[in-house]
Structure 1
């Protein structure tokens, strides 16, 4: 069984839980390291873009982050996946549910009119809800965080994930799955920093 509890599936090498990849890696630790190292490099090359932010934009980010590793980068998954008791969106509902969320985001003007406290709450709730959709077979977290960096920067704030611990992050995502956003709000309150126009300029 792989980490999503899917077992054998078309994304994996036959008889293994290892995702098929363009580097031909056949063990999890090496693949995880390659994924981490490659996405660090590719993330640095991705330029900020203003709205609209929608599912196609998320797919574009996923493709840019993972196209050197996975042949299906940027494509919506074709199988249902779950982590433990957390069951992510059925494949038939991914595009409709993502569409609802991004339509609401557009209607709320991408949160650009909110004071910081309301921004933190809105971003945290939107993150938790979008995470339930989990549109890709792998790489959802990295891709979604990149989207939210752009979203928060567009509103006019800096954002950093550096102080967030893995277990804390997992707990917040699980709680948000059950519509308890308090832990996620606390995380984004720390991640979202100063207004960009108040940061000291380079000499």
Structure 2
């Protein structure tokens, strides 16, 4: 095993343990500050910058993410979506619509250098939980969930994200 492989395996083990901890003691999401806290918790053993915004503009596979110069307005907009979610998303259909918008915008924001996907999935899980739903996005377990998640987030396709949430949201 090479050093990068060992580092990747180590990160996977440490972050998986932290995510399991969050299943028992979730950090509830009321603002972007809570999203930063989730990232900090998951990656505290791996990155010294865990829970802090990235300091450079990034892109992935030709898709650019929100420029760091726009983080303040991005944070304000995401906070408004989260506030609206807590106030208005009460039916399953409203949850599907609202969670799709939040995930789409959080993915475009892409606030961290690494760990955005795992953080996004935890944010969605706790938002769904706050409304009495299980909303576990587990792309590694289900190919259809993986494809809907990737198509929805990579291409900003709200219809795919709505299909994703229609598939995974379960009343508890």
Q: Which residue of 2 aligns with 1:131?
A: 107
**For residues 75 and 113 of structure 2, what CA distance do their matches in structure 1 show?**
15
Q: Residue deviations 1:176-202, cap 9 Å, x none? A: 1xxx31111111111211x22xxxxxx
Q: Which residue of 2 aligns with 1:8?
A: none
Q: CA RMSD in A?
A: 2.0
**For residues 49 and 73 of structure 1, what CA distance do their matches in structure 2 show?**
15
Aligned length: 165
Q: Which residue of 1 aligns with 2:62?
A: 85
Task: Say if 2:62 is the partner of 1:97.
Answer: no
**For residues 62 and 47 of structure 2, what CA distance do their matches in structure 1 show?**
27
Structure 1 position 37, deviation (Å): 1.6
* Segments of 4+ moved more than 6 angstroms: none
Q: Which residue of 1 aligns with 2:118?
A: 142
Q: Which residue of 2 aligns with 1:4?
A: none
Q: Which residue of 2 aligns with 1:45?
A: 21
The partner residue of 1:189 within 163, 166, 169 is 166
Which structure: greater helix fraction?
Answer: 2
**For residues 159 and 41 of structure 1, what CA distance do their matches in structure 2 show?**
19
The partner residue of 1:170 within 120, 144, 150 is 150
Computing the radius of gyration over CA atoms, which structure comes out larger, 1 or 2? 1
5+ residue gaps in structure 2? none
Q: What is the TM-score of this pair, normalised by structure 2?
A: 0.86
**For residues 87 and 116 of structure 1, what CA distance do their matches in structure 2 show?**
32
The partner residue of 1:116 within 92, 95, 98 is 92
5+ residue gaps in structure 1? 1-24, 197-203
Q: What is the TM-score of this pair, normalised by structure 1?
A: 0.74
Structure 1 position 157, deviation (Å): 0.8
